[in-house]
Every structure is written in structure tokens, then in C-alpha cells.
Amino acid sequence: MYTRFPEIIYFGSRVICFFLLMRTWRALWRGRILRFVFWLVVTVTFIRIRFIEPQLIAVRETTVDIGVGQTAALIADLHLGTFKDRSYLQRVVNTINAMSGVDLVLIAGDFTYDPDI
């Protein structure tokens, strides 16, 4: 059964981000340089892991000769839904369209995040 827990984590992470930014600012304001550096590293790492990394599109090229003579693009684990919206899918489509000579697209892995869709 699908729960709303992922949405709580998604929107709760914004609150955590705000908390981390406030801790970083407070350490800087009080002149505590080591604490400031610590909270800055924690905050930047959290922002990268939570907000930047999931939106990156990785492109890797591998040549496998199967005797057909066509080029295929394989996309996997899009997880569209709560965390990634239509604009992310459009970026994936634009990336595939920018590749030269793609004859077909194969979708492997999880296409949506919501198991009820």
C-alpha cells in the first residue's frame, strides 16, 4: 500500500535545509570558525545529496555489437512522480534527441515512483 511518507520526507528536507542554513549562519555570526566550517560542509553536502544529485542526468556510452546495425538508447530508473516532474522527463527526452543516430529507446527499471500508477 502506498503511503504519503515520501512526500513528508520530500517537504521535510526543505525544513532540514533551512535548519542547516540557520545553524551555519549562527556559527558565522558568533565568530565560531570551526563550527561554521563544520556546518557549512554539512549543509553543502546535504544540499548536493538531496536537491542536486537526483536531478543530474548521467550519459554513458557503450558499444555492443549484436549484428543488427542500429543504435539504441537505454534509460533506466527515472522515478517520475513525487521527486521528479515533467520538466525532468523533458530534459531526458532532450538529451536523447541530442544524441546522434539513436534508432530506438529502451526503458529499463522504474519509470514512476508511485507503485499505484
Q: Where are the domains of the chain?
A: 5-55, 57-117
Distance in angstroms (rounded) separating the CA atoms of residues 8 and 6: 5
Q: Whole-structure pTM over 0.85, yes or no?
A: no
Q: Are 56 and 86 in contact (CB under 8 A)?
A: no
* For residue 42, pLDDT beyond 90: yes
What pLDDT, on a 0 to 100 scale, did the predictor assign at position 39? Answer: 96
What pLDDT, on a 0 to 100 scale, did the predictor assign at position 21? Answer: 95
pLDDT tier, 1 (very low <50, low <70, confident <90, very high otherwise): very low
Packing angle, helices 33-47 and 5-29, rounded to 10: 150
Over residues 49-106, the pLDDT tens digits come to: 888 888 888 888 887 777 788 888 888 888 887 778 888 889 999 999 998 888 888 8
What pLDDT, on a 0 to 100 scale, did the predictor assign at position 40? Answer: 96
Q: Calculate the dihedral angle through the C-alpha atoms of 67, 73, 76, 82, rounding to the nearest 10 degrees.
A: -160
